[in-house]
Amino acid sequence: MTFARACTLLVAAVLVWSRIGCAMPRVWLMEVLPVMVGGGAIVLCWRAFPWTRLAVAHVTLFSIVLCVGGHWTYAQVPLGEWLREAFDLQRNHYDRIGHFLQGVVPALLARELLLRCTPLRPGKALFWVVCSIALAISASYELIEWWTALLEDPVAGPAFLGSQGDVWDAQWDMVLALSGSILVQVLFARRHDRQLAALAARTA
């Protein structure tokens, strides 16, 4: 079994689990919709456009984080509650993990697309463009959360928004996404380049 197929089966299993006995079915659907749409697109286009193992691994991790958040709602995830009690925090910070990865994963995917499909090469320009794309996606998601919270019912809307009374929630989410996009490039750019070169050799 290939690495990509194993990751696909893992995400599918977690997705099914997350729906069983979920706290709020409407919130679950809103939270896992990116997994269904994004994951489905990757699977359908895989033969024409396979991704590196690094990208697949991070997409898998992000998908699991979203599914877990959808199962309990972000404000009630046990891991976040444990962190809140252990570090005497004022709120459940599980959603912060998701927003950090919301910078990491789009950054990796954008970097891979740009290097494979445009004349951009590794360097300052690529780094800046990737960070900008990740931050734009994060800001767009904040707008989607806001509109959804306004249009949804008084219970499902705030549960999806997940601000837990923090007036700076949107700003923190975007800062974390930007930090994730910077950190993943600093830590993994060279490994990503090596995997891209190996992928190009296999698909040539």
Distances (CA, A) of 127 to 56, 75, 108, 114, 117: 20, 33, 11, 11, 16
Looking at the predicted structure, is the pLDDT value of residue 178 above 60? yes
Looking at the predicted structure, is the pLDDT value of residue 151 above 90? no
The pLDDT of residue 144: 84
Output the six-digit token pair for 163.
């601000």
CA dihedral 23, 149, 34, 116 (to 10 degrees): -150
Looking at the predicted structure, is the pLDDT value of residue 80 above 60? yes
The pLDDT of 61-71, averaged and rounded, is 97
The pLDDT of residue 184: 98
Distances (CA, A) of 58 to 63, 67, 109: 8, 14, 10
Write down the mean pLDDT value for the chain: 91
Find out whether 64 and 14 touch, Cβ atoms under 8 Å. Answer: yes
131-150 pLDDT, tens digit each:
999 999 999 988 887 877 77
The count of other CB atoms within 10 Å of the CB of residue 17 is 13
Structurally, how many domains does the chain consist of?
1
Range of the domain at 77: 3-203
The pLDDT of 13-21, averaged and rounded, is 97
Looking at the predicted structure, is the pLDDT value of residue 166 above 80? no
The pLDDT of residue 157: 55
The pLDDT of residue 175: 96
3-state secondary structure of 153: coil
Most confident of 6-20, 84-98, 131-145: 6-20
pLDDT band at residue 197, thresholds of 50, 70 and 90?
very high
The pLDDT of 6-34, averaged and rounded, is 95
pTM of the model: 0.91
